[in-house]
Amino acid sequence: MNKNQPIIVTGAAGFIGSCMIRWLMDNGFEHIVAVDDFSRQDKQDNLKDKKIHSLIERAHFFEWLQQQTERPSYIIHLGARTDTTEFDYSIHQELNVEYTQKLWNYCAIQQIPFIYASSAATYGDGQLGYRDDHDLVFKLSPLNPYGVSKNEVDKWILHEEIHPPFWAGLKFFNVYGPNEYHKGRMASVIMHAYHQIRQNGKVKLFRSHRPDYKDGWQLRDFIYVKDVIDVIGWMIYETAPRLEKEEDLSVHALADLKSGLYNLGTGKARSFYDLVASTFNAMQLESHIEFIDMPEDIRDKYQYFTEADMHKLINAGYQKTFTSLEDGVTDYVQQYLMKERFY
């Protein structure tokens, strides 16, 4: 593929977006366009030492797009309002739903491949399972406005008749890793645990409020951010050569090229206890864990179990083994948190 063509990353100053830019740099992409709200000082270090061709403010992005004469090779849309405790849906509607719809329409008309971030939050309490089947999308009941907004996008896209030549909506499970320092309370439990250990020598975890789960044994599918960007990179490499060979980039030209929704987890649920124990171990310390009551206002919205069904991505050809929880936590803690480094 032509690595001198513009490749666009939204949410570029954020956690996953800035890691994506590092991957693009490491893989020789020369014309990276970064889109975000660059007014936030706490995210600026994520882009330090990154080689970026253009920085475009989120509010002016569509105006900028209309002025471009060179067609982007790909748009990777990772920008969103990701705060699961933000209950003003109008914010999610504007930043998550309408913004993604506008980008989709642009990519469909201009025939630009499009990858966007969906979320495992769309699965709600998990009663219907965690399969990335398209039929399931219309039956899901997310537990918070953020999850609702992501599911509304997925439903809308599945009803659209005009598509980009390739598209993928990635249902991220619990992503952790470097460059999440700015996320505050929304950062991974690993980062919070690391700072609690340094300050107090112990970690506090939520007590279980269900008899079928022991304290600390609530389960999540934790995935290392480096695995997330490896999957996105694989999709770019997998599709780009075929896209370039197509003489007709009509909406039907590449209908069989794996377009669709994909889970992005490891396929193996692990406990918060294991997560924190791995953090202690990475710091070469004995575990000291205490349990506290979960705030009542989130108890009815709390997921006790998530685990991605990864068959669809694997059957599509992805063969790389996902990083184990222990290896991912060790790399994150020792190479980034302890050294205060960015990726």
CATH number reported for the structural domain that contains residue 215 in this entry: 3.90.25.10
Angle (nearest 5°) at CA 137 between 187 and 112: 75
Both 282 and 228 in a single domain? no
* pLDDT band at residue 243 using 50, 70 and 90 as cut-offs: low
H/E stretch holding 264 reads strand 260-264
Burial (Cβ within 10 Å: 0-12, 13-18, ≥19) of residue 220:
buried
69 within domain boundaries: yes
314 within domain boundaries: no
pLDDT (0 to 100) of residue 91 = 86
Count structural domains, the chain.
2
Q: Which residue among 146, 176, 273, 332 is the active-site one?
A: 146
169 within domain boundaries: yes
pLDDT (0 to 100) of residue 248 = 45
Both 122 and 150 in a single domain? yes
Q: Tell me what the mean pLDDT of segment 189-197 comes to.
A: 96
Both 101 and 234 in a single domain? yes
pLDDT (0 to 100) of residue 249 = 44
What single letter denotes the amino acid at residue 289? I
Radius of gyration of the chain (CA): 20
Both 227 and 112 in a single domain? yes
- Look up 176 and say whether it is catalytic: no
Both 199 and 241 in a single domain? no
Alpha-carbon gap, residue 244 to 2, rounded angstroms: 9
Residue 84 predicted with pLDDT over 80: no
Residue 211 predicted with pLDDT over 60: yes
* pLDDT band at residue 240 using 50, 70 and 90 as cut-offs: confident
Percent of the chain with pLDDT over 70: 93
Both 192 and 106 in a single domain? no
CATH number reported for the structural domain that contains residue 107 in this entry: 3.40.50.720
- Look up 183 and say whether it is catalytic: yes
Both 67 and 167 in a single domain? yes
1 within domain boundaries: no
Burial (Cβ within 10 Å: 0-12, 13-18, ≥19) of residue 42:
exposed
Q: Tell me what the mean pLDDT of segment 236-248 comes to.
A: 66
* pLDDT band at residue 255 using 50, 70 and 90 as cut-offs: very low
No. of H helices and E strands in the chain? 12, 13
Strands 219-220 and 270-271: antiparallel
Q: Which residue among 183, 202, 204, 312 is the active-site one?
A: 183
pLDDT (0 to 100) of residue 242 = 59
Residue 51 predicted with pLDDT over 90: yes
Q: Tell me what the mean pLDDT of segment 157-174 comes to.
A: 95
Of 57-66, 94-103, 246-255, give the lowest mean pLDDT range. Answer: 246-255
Both 215 and 235 in a single domain? no
pLDDT (0 to 100) of residue 241 = 60
Beta bridge partners of 291: 205
The answer, as to whether pTM is greater than 0.85, is yes
Residue range of the domain that includes 98: 7-174+223-264
Instruction: Point out the domain boundary residue: 264, 280, 295.
Output: 264
